[in-house]
């Protein structure tokens, strides 16, 4: 990123640092800050509007060790592989790659068969999970909504990076596709959570009472997500 100096000349911070870094110039920022974008695996530097370029460079150089240590902590993204055992909607399956088959992805017993080239394996499994989850989550969401006198018009499966679900004022619910990989009681908790938002658009005491009435083990589901949710996000 190039910034304009008071002299009218430009200064390329990235070139001066000789490293890959995302730079954000913010009029709201009061000081220099650094964070790590885990998704893109890159440091992010936020610069106030009035900040000397060399000061920004010195700030990053002083924190290079911190940047290297935190980049190293980011887990490597995962892709589904042949022979891997995964859970889909509470059922355990072993992935079996059958390249000569022409049936796409399908389950038989405790095995998930995936046809086609190996380069398509991960995407086809993701597509299968999303399609299966959409049907099941819609059914379960409507069943729970009926218990509290509400309705769910539609359910969409999303690839969100920070939210497990969301509920709109139009009675539509979005779910992160990765939640389908969680244990059954965790899935039930999340559905109860989002359905409860049909009645309570907040996280008030009444909201949590509603969640518990729909799924008494909600505390266990919530705790599991806090402890293990990050592992599900490793899947691209």
Pairing of strands 85-88, 91-97: antiparallel
Q: Which residue has the higher pLDDT, 198 or 22?
A: 198
What confidence tens digit (pLDDT) does each residue in 75-117 have? 888 999 999 999 999 999 999 999 998 889 999 999 999 999 9
SS (H, E, C) 2-38: EEECCCCCEEEHHHHHCCCCEEEEECCCCCCEEEEEC
Taking phi first (over 0 means left), then psi (-120 to 50 degrees means alpha), and beta for anything else, what does residue 103 get? alpha
Q: For position 52, what pLDDT does the model report?
A: 82
Segment 46-84, tens digit of pLDDT: 989 888 888 888 999 999 999 999 998 888 889 999 999
Q: pLDDT at position 12, please?
A: 67
Percent of the chain, pLDDT > 90?
72
Alpha carbon distance 120, 75 (integer Å): 23
Given this model, what pLDDT does residue 31 score?
92
Average pLDDT over residues 13-41: 84
Q: Give the up-direction half-sphere exposure of residue 98: CA atoms within 13 A in the CB hemisphere.
A: 16
For the chain, give the percent of residues with pLDDT over 70.
94
Give the per-residue pLDDT at 14.
67
Long-range contacts of 200-203 (CB under 8 A, 24+ apart): 201/167, 201/169
pLDDT at position 4 over 80: no
Residue 185 confidence (pLDDT) above 90: yes
| Alpha-carbon separation of residue 30 from 27, 33, 123 (angstroms) | 8, 9, 43
Which of 206, 205, 213 minimizes the C-alpha distance to 147? 213
Residues 170-188 have a mean pLDDT of 98
Direct distance between the N- and C-terminal alpha carbons of the chain, in angstroms, rounded to an integer: 29
Q: What is the band of 41 on the pLDDT scale with cuts at 50, 70, 90?
A: confident
Res 5 pLDDT > 50? no
Residue whose C-alpha is closest to residue 207's, from 143, 189, 150, 198? 198
Asked whether the predicted pLDDT for residue 1 surpasses 80, the reply is no
Distance between CA atoms of residues 69 and 29, nearest Å: 25
pLDDT of residue 73: 86
pTM tops 0.85: no
Q: Which position has the higher pLDDT, 4 or 12?
A: 12
- Are 74 and 38 a contacting pair, CB within 8 Å? yes
């Amino acid at each position: 990123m190039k910034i304009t100096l008071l002299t009218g000349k430009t200064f390329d911070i990235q070139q001066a640092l000789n490293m890959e870094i995302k730079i954000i110039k913010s009029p709201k920022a009061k000081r220099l800050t650094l964070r790590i974008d885990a998704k893109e695996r890159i440091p992010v530097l936020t610069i106030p509007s009035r900040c000397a370029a060399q000061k920004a460079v010195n700030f990053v150089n002083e924190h290079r060790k911190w940047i290297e240590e935190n980049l190293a902590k980011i887990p490597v993204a995962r892709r589904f592989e042949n022979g891997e055992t995964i859970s889909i909607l509470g059922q355990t399956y072993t992935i079996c790659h059958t390249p000569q088959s022409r049936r796409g992805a399908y389950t038989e017993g405790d095995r998930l068969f995936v046809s086609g080239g190996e380069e398509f394996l991960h995407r086809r499994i993701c597509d299968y999970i999303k399609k299966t989850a959409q049907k099941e989550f819609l059914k379960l969401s409507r069943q729970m909504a009926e218990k509290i006198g509400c309705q769910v018009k539609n359910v969409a499966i999303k690839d969100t990076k920070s939210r497990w679900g969301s509920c709109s004022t139009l009675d539509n619910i979005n779910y992160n596709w990765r939640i389908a990989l969680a244990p059954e009681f965790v899935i039930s908790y999340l559905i109860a959570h989002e359905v409860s938002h049909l009645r309570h658009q907040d996280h008030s005491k009444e909201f949590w009472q509603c969640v518990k009435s729909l799924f008494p083990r909600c505390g266990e589901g919530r705790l599991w997500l806090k402890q293990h949710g990050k592992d599900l996000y490793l899947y691209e």
